[in-house]
Amino acid sequence: MNYTAGEIAAIVCGKLCGDSDLVITDARGIDNATPSDISYINSREVLKQHRKCQAGVLLIQEDLADAVEAIEFPSVIIFVADAEQSFLHLLETANPQKMRPSFGISPEAFVSPTATIGEGTNIFPGAHIKDGVTIGANCDIHVGVVIGEDCRIGDNVTIHPNVVLYEDIEIGNRVIIHATSVIGADGFGYRLENGKHIRIPHYGTVRIEDDVEIGACTTIDRAKLGATVIGEGSKIDNLVQIAHNCEIGKHNIFVGQVGLAGSVTSGDYVVCAGHVGIADHVHLGTGCVLGSKSGVPKDVPAGETYIGIPAQPVADAMRMMMAQRKIPEMRTQLKELKKQVEHLTAIATNSKNEVSNTSLHAA
């Protein structure tokens, strides 16, 4: 990156306040930006936390102008409608994507003569495309990818190195699958017979709909019967496990190390933060949010935010956490109360004995 502040203001269509000739050579986060960097602020909270920001140029949202005047940043400021979006647009302008190569099928790849490969698709060296596979147009099948028999892949799909698609998997259009993910392995299902765990066969498939992105090292198991489904537009992070017969709605977000047991279903726009675990046959309602490390044993209503183990509404969980913080103090109080009770019990016992002795003497 090598832009003047004036050039940046033109790129992001912003209002410049400060030296238009100041040269910026890099972009950094707000915490470690230097005078030769550009960064951005998109909330009043961030603005308050970074009163001494060293960035040479700051992109700041227009609705924060009053707060900026009170703080008086030394940086050059460019006011924009959406600071984060403008920052990303600048990065894209400074780092244009490389042209996609077009070489077709590498002679070092294996492609079955019964496979159908669409126009403009690249098959990289070491890829292995088995019998009956259909791949659409303008796809990139990278090094070491294995695509099993009778898989069906749409247009503009990118499958990164060493991904494995088991047989009979359906992938929609504009799907991205990152390295070493495994789609379509059998689910974890066994019956106990005569003291042995007997494997339950899985005859179903996996269907991944349009515009899904699947992170590296993620596993999505095939259904026992029917299909495990990942809904349109859903984004799945690295190291996520989705078990057999799960049916995920549209535009879900699953962050790293989320684990779904068998037959979990979800509505649209569900968010699972990192390390969430969900029990089998649970339904996640449309728009619900599960906080990090939540353990979910039962259905979550639409639009609710749940946290904790077991997961519960966030207000209830916060009350419980606040109560837990008081446990050390409560233990101290309980010990003191125990001493007081023992002392009062001793006094009462002595008084009772004295009354009894007085009565005997009187008799």
pLDDT value of residue 70: 63
- Alpha-carbon distance of 18 to 78, in angstroms, equals 8
**Domain 110-316 in the same topology as domain 3-94:** no
Q: Which of 89, 128, 244, 281 is catalytic?
A: 244
Is residue 197 among the annotated active site residues? no
pLDDT value of residue 353: 79
pTM for the structure as a whole: 0.85
Split at pLDDT 50, 70, 90, the class of 351 is confident
- Cα distances (Å, whole numbers) of residue 266 to 3, 229, 282: 46, 10, 8
The secondary structure of the chain in percent helix, strand, coil, rounded to multiples of 5, reads 25, 25, 50
pLDDT(272) > 70: yes
pLDDT value of residue 149: 98
pLDDT(362) > 70: no
Task: Give 142-179 as a DSSP string.
Answer: -TT-EE-TT-EE-SS-EE-TT-EE-SS-EE-TT-EE-T
Two structure tokens written together for 159: 């499958």
C-alpha torsion sign, points 67, 71, 72, 76? negative
Answer whether 317's CB lies under 8 Å from 293's CB: no
Q: What's the chain's average pLDDT?
A: 93
Residue 167 vs residue 65, higher pLDDT = 167
Domain boundaries, the chain: 3-94, 110-316, 326-363
Kindly report the CATH number that applies to the domain delimited by 110-316. Answer: 2.160.10.10
| CATH architecture of the domain covering 3-94 | 3-Layer(aba) Sandwich (3.40)
